Amino acid sequence: MDPVFDLIESERQRQREGLELIPSENYVTKEVLEAMGSVLTNKYSEGYPSFSWNFSSEEKPQRKEPSSDVKSDTCSDFVSKEKWIAETILPNHRYYGGQVNVDRIERLAIARACELFNADHANVQPHSGANANEAVYFAWCEPGDKILAMNLAHGGHLTHGSPVTRSAKIYDFVAYGVNDEGDIDYDQMEKVALAEGPKLILVGYSAFMKIPDFKRAVEIRDKVEQKFKHEVLLMADMAHVAGLIAGGVHPNPLDFGFNVMTTTTHKTLRGPRGGLILSKGRVGSQLKRPEHTLENIPTLIDRAVFPGTQGGPLEHVIAAKAVAFGEALKPEFKEYAKNIVENAKTLADELKKNGFILQGDGTDNHLVLVNVDASFGLNGKDYEKALDLVGLTLNANALPGDKQAAFRPSGVRLGTPAMTTRGLGKAEMVKVADWMTEVAKICQVANERNADDKKAIQFNADEEKQLAKIREAVRELALKFPLPSDK
Ligand SMILES: Cc1ncc(COP(=O)(O)O)c(C=O)c1O
């Protein structure tokens, strides 16, 4: 057999026997995996399907609030719309023949995404979150235009203006950061915005644990528009929390007046690896004149994705996105999202009780940032590696204003979406926090012994034995909670 398959099997076993604490990872269902591994990968379909439904507000079925009788929350309008899409062939705007099935699959993905996020339009083709962000910049900004986004060192993402990216070479990024409480510094955001007059303001992050004040961001955008007399695109990159928004436990920026929301589909949203762009505006392949307006943003974005920045879409991944969006529309997903946040709060509380110092002193979402330097005198990379030895996977992360080198930062970042998918609850969060504490203490002792040595921590035989014992306990617990694809 091709050794690639042995390696895939080894990875499956690693996932089964360990616990995934990386906040941007998750475990997909068998159905999502099946769609991804399907014959759709054989098909070229550059272009877009015709719009099967007018998503303008008067025709779009309203998302229903969950009722006390959960069974009645089935969005009957939506089901009939889906059936209509799945059964109807419309003329397409593709560059290849044979689109009869992929058109209907992509339209289903679009309809479900719009329903989940109360959007007028969805582009489901971005190959990743980075591609989604780049396409939005490309749709709206000219080279040299200013974009205001969160400082990478304060929790923003590489694609929000890191000098190593292509976007940063094209556009002029200016930044705001977080304050001492770990919250976005909105006063700074306003000050920089009114000084610089950005064309695009972005609220989004990879390491932030509070709920953003979307209303304040809209007010800041309005002030910039008034002062500089040009339209400002207000964009949210909700890659981390999209599943919480879909599950109704986090506010939706599109409900506050944001024009665009980008996300990955593989984090809390629990779909295949990929990107998604949601927008508010006028939908249709014709642009209304003048063309470069926020009203036309859905179509400007479609053009920026293809042919602007990508080639043929990955229809097997789009099918898996459609399946995942269908799962996220079910009532069970609301329960899942609620449990993610509850687990994160329990984990944060337990870590604090055990002596860890947390950025922002806790969490309001799925993610916890821990200052392991201030708590146990460790660097995040050494601690990450030690936790790997016991089967707890997380990642080292810089903290706002971190003085340590990027590869040996003061913090680690962890979260609960993946563990919650497997069914772990409060009791297990207490255990995870206890194991993390034991490992931190073992590292602390080893670290002090090797204080003069700049290399990674060396454990002695006794410490290795203690780590092996924790490894066994983690494995035993993990195996009680099968991966969804094993069920
Ligand atoms: C906020 C944010 N945006 C964009 C991305 C990029 O996503 P991808 O890795 O799919 O390109 C990430 C990934 O971590 C992210 O956290």
Q: Is 383 a catalytic residue?
A: no
The verdict on the CB of residue 381 being under 6 Å from ligand 1 is: no
What pLDDT score was predicted for residue 487?
87
Domain-located, residue 3:
no
Total domains in the chain come to 2
What pLDDT score was predicted for residue 407?
79
Domain-located, residue 439:
yes
Q: Is 463 a catalytic residue?
A: no
Domain with 151, as residue range(s), is: 47-329
Using the 3D structure, point to which of 307, 329, 351 is the last residue of a domain: 329
What pLDDT score was predicted for residue 59?
46
The verdict on the CB of residue 24 being under 6 Å from ligand 1 is: yes
Residues 25, 31, 44, 225: which is the catalytic one?
44
Ligand 1 centroid to residue 126 C-alpha, Å:
12
The verdict on the CB of residue 206 being under 6 Å from ligand 1 is: yes
What pLDDT score was predicted for residue 78?
56
Q: Is 487 a catalytic residue?
A: no
CATH number at residue 155: 3.40.640.10
Ligand 1 centroid to residue 277 C-alpha, Å:
13
The verdict on the CB of residue 129 being under 6 Å from ligand 1 is: yes
What pLDDT score was predicted for residue 401?
85
Ligand 1 centroid to residue 419 C-alpha, Å:
20
Domain-located, residue 51:
yes
Q: Given the structure tokens 């895939």, which residue do they identify?
A: 8
Ligand 1 centroid to residue 81 C-alpha, Å:
31
Domain-located, residue 4:
no
- Cα separation, 267 vs 367, in Å, equals 12
What pLDDT score was predicted for residue 402?
87
The verdict on the CB of residue 132 being under 6 Å from ligand 1 is: no
Where is 415: in which H helix or E strand? strand 411-415
Ligand 1 centroid to residue 54 C-alpha, Å:
30
| 139 in the same domain as 83 | yes
The verdict on the CB of residue 159 being under 6 Å from ligand 1 is: yes
- Cα separation, 360 vs 152, in Å, equals 17
Across the chain, which has 487 residues, the per-10-residue mean pLDDT values are 96 98 98 98 94 48 42 48 78 87 94 95 97 98 98 94 96 96 96 98 97 98 98 98 98 98 98 98 83 95 96 98 98 98 98 97 98 96 97 95 84 98 98 98 92 79 98 98 95
Domain-located, residue 432:
yes
Nearest CA to ligand 1 atom 4: 129
Using the 3D structure, point to which of 329, 355, 382 is the last residue of a domain: 329
In the DSSP assignment, the letter for residue 149 is: E
Per the confidence metrics, is the pTM higher than 0.85? yes
| 179 in the same domain as 72 | yes
| 164 in the same domain as 280 | yes
- Cα separation, 360 vs 354, in Å, equals 17
CA atoms within 13 A on the CB side of 208: 29
Using the 3D structure, point to which of 329, 360, 384 is the last residue of a domain: 329
- Cα separation, 283 vs 113, in Å, equals 15
- Cα separation, 279 vs 175, in Å, equals 23
What pLDDT score was predicted for residue 65?
42
Nearest CA to ligand 1 atom 9: 129
Between strands 367-371 and 93-94, the pairing is unpaired
Domain-located, residue 8:
no
CATH number at residue 460: 3.90.1150.10
What residues contact residue 461 under an 8 Å CB cut-off, 6+ apart? none
| 357 in the same domain as 308 | no
| 303 in the same domain as 277 | yes
| 179 in the same domain as 58 | yes
- Residues forming beta bridges with residue 204, ordered by sequence position: 237
| 379 in the same domain as 283 | no
- Cα separation, 382 vs 454, in Å, equals 11
- Cα separation, 263 vs 266, in Å, equals 9
State which of 26, 154, 157 you would mutate to test the pocket of ligand 1, scoring each by most atoms of that ligand within 8 A of its C-beta. Answer: 157
- Cα separation, 129 vs 274, in Å, equals 6
Q: Is 237 a catalytic residue?
A: yes
Residues 82, 237, 373, 428: which is the catalytic one?
237
Neighbours of 181 (CB within 10 A): 10
| 64 in the same domain as 100 | yes
Ligand 1 centroid to residue 117 C-alpha, Å:
18
Q: Is 373 a catalytic residue?
A: no
Domain-located, residue 18:
no
| 276 in the same domain as 142 | yes
| 354 in the same domain as 325 | no
| 217 in the same domain as 299 | yes
Q: Is 408 a catalytic residue?
A: no
Domain-located, residue 6:
no
Q: Given the structure tokens 């977080």, which residue do they identify?
A: 178
| 370 in the same domain as 275 | no
The verdict on the CB of residue 346 being under 6 Å from ligand 1 is: no
Q: What is the dihedral of CA 315, 321, 327, 328, to 10 degrees?
A: -150
Q: Torsion-angle region of residue 182: left (phi > 0), alpha (psi -120 to 50) or beta? A: left
Ligand 1 centroid to residue 468 C-alpha, Å:
34
The sign of the torsion formed by the CA atoms of 51, 53, 59, 62 equals negative
Rounded to a whole number of angstroms, the CA Rg of the chain reads: 23
